[in-house]
Amino acid sequence: MKKYNVAVVGVGVVGIEMLRVLKQRKFPAGEVRVFARSERDIEVDGEKYSVKAISGQSFKGIDFALFAGTEGEKGAAVTYAKDAVKSGAVVIDNGADFRMDPKVPLVVPEVNPKDAKKHNGIIANPNCSTIQMVVALAPIYKKAGIKRVIVTTLQASSGAGKGAVEQLKEEVSSIASSGFYNLHINASNKSMPQQLAYNVFPHIGSFAECDYTNEEWKLVKETHKIMHDDKIKISATTIRVPVRTGHSESIYIETEKPITPEAARKLLAKSPGIIVMDDIKNNLYPMPKDAEGRDETFVGRIRKDPFVKNGLWLWVVADNLRKGAATNAVQIAELLIH
**Exposure pattern of 215-239 as b/e (b: 16+ CB <10 Å)?**
bbbbbbbbbbbbbeeeebebebbbb
* Predicted local confidence at residue 221, as pLDDT: 98
Q: Cα–Cα distance between 6 and 25 in angstroms, integer? A: 14
* Predicted local confidence at residue 132, as pLDDT: 98
Mean pLDDT by 10 residues, the chain (338 residues): 96 96 97 96 96 97 93 86 97 96 98 97 98 98 98 97 94 93 86 95 96 97 98 98 98 98 98 98 97 98 98 98 98 96
- The single residue of 119, 128, 184, 210 carrying the catalytic annotation is 128
* Active-site residue flag, 210: no
* Active-site residue flag, 128: yes
* Predicted local confidence at residue 69, as pLDDT: 76
Q: Is 202 helix (H, G, I), strand (E, B) or coil?
A: coil
* Predicted local confidence at residue 199, as pLDDT: 97
Amino acid found at 173: S
Could you give all domains of the chain from N- to C-terminal order, each with its CATH number?
A: 4-125+325-337 (3.40.50.720), 130-156+200-319 (3.30.360.10), 158-199 (no CATH)
Consecutive H or E run containing 26 = none
- The single residue of 203, 210, 224, 247 carrying the catalytic annotation is 247
Eight-class DSSP state of 272: T
Distances (CA, A) of 224 to 27, 149, 318: 30, 11, 21
* Predicted local confidence at residue 263, as pLDDT: 98
